[in-house]
C-alpha cells in the first residue's frame, strides 16, 4: 500500500501525456497502466522500423513483442534521465539484428533444400518498393540501421548514436553514406530499365 499509485492516478487525471521517464519509473514499480501507455506510444513506430529492418511483417510483430518483454524485464536498469524512446529502439534494434543473424545462418540450409525463391528472382523485382528494398538490403547492417532509425524511427542523430553505441559523427557519416548509396543504386536500377527520369 504505497503512496506512488494514488499520486500517479492523480497525475494521470491532470496530465494525460506524462513524460516517458516518469512512466518508466512507475512501470518499474509495478504500474501496468504506465507500462501499457509506454508501449502504446511507441508500438506503431517501432513495428514499422522493425518491418523495414528485418523485411518481414510477422517477424516484426513478434520482434516487437520480444523487445517489449526485454524492456519490461530490464526496466529497473533504465535511467529516467535518459531517453526511453532511444532505450526501447536500442532493445528493438538488438532483437532485430539478432533475428537477422539467426536467419542468415538458417538461410544456406534452406536454400540447399530448395526452399524459398532463388536469389535471381529476388533481384529482378520491377516495382519501386522492391527496388528500394533491394537497395536497402545491399547496405551493411550498420548503414541500414542508421538510415531506418533516422527516416522511419524519426530519431535524432544523438538518439541514434545512443542506440547503436557509436559517436554522433560516425552516425552522421553512416547516414550520409547510406543516402548516397541508395540514390546511386536506385538511379542505376532505373536506368537499367530504361527510365532515366529518377
Instruction: Give the rounded distance of the alpha carbon of 196 from its chain centre.
Output: 32
Length of the chain: 198
56: its cell numbers: 518481414
Q: Is 81 helix (H, G, I), strand (E, B) or coil?
A: coil
pTM: 0.61
Minimum mean pLDDT range among 44-48, 77-81, 90-94? 77-81
Q: List, by residue range, all CATH 1.10.1740.10 domains of the chain.
A: 1-116
pLDDT in tens, 157-180: 898 998 889 999 999 999 889 888
All residues at 6 or more sequence positions from 166 whose CB lies less than 8 Å from its CB, including other chains: 174
Residue with cell 510483430: 61
Domain 1-116 bears CATH identifier 1.10.1740.10: yes
Instruction: Label residue 107 by pLDDT band (50, 70, 90).
Output: low
Q: Where in the chain is the domain with CATH 1.10.10.10?
A: 117-198
Would you state the CATH architecture of domain 117-198?
Orthogonal Bundle (1.10)
Amino acid at each position: 500500500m504505497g503512496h506512488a499509485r494514488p499520486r500517479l492516478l492523480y497525475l494521470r487525471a491532470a496530465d494525460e501525456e506524462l513524460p516517458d521517464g516518469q512512466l518508466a519509473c512507475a512501470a518499474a514499480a509495478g504500474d501496468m497502466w504506465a507500462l501499457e501507455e509506454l508501449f502504446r506510444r511507441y508500438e506503431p513506430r517501432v513495428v514499422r522500423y522493425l518491418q523495414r529492418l528485418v523485411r518481414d511483417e510477422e517477424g516484426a510483430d513478434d520482434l516487437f513483442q520480444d523487445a517489449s518483454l526485454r524492456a519490461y524485464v530490464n526496466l529497473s536498469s533504465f535511467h529516467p534521465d535518459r531517453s526511453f524512446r532511444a532505450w526501447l529502439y536500442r532493445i528493438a534494434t538488438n532483437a532485430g539484428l539478432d533475428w537477422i543473424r539467426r536467419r542468415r545462418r538458417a538461410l544456406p540450409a534452406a536454400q540447399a533444400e530448395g526452399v524459398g525463391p532463388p536469389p535471381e528472382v529476388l533481384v529482378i523485382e520491377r516495382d519501386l518498393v522492391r527496388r528500394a528494398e533491394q537497395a536497402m538490403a545491399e547496405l551493411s547492417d550498420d548503414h541500414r540501421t542508421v538510415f531506418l532509425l533516422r527516416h522511419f524511427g524519426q530519431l535524432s542523430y544523438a538518439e541514434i548514436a545512443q542506440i547503436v553505441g557509436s559517436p554522433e559523427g560516425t552516425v552522421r557519416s553512416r547516414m550520409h553514406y547510406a543516402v548516397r548509396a541508395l540514390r546511386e543504386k536506385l538511379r542505376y536500377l532505373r536506368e537499367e530499365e530504361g527510365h532515366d527520369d529518377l
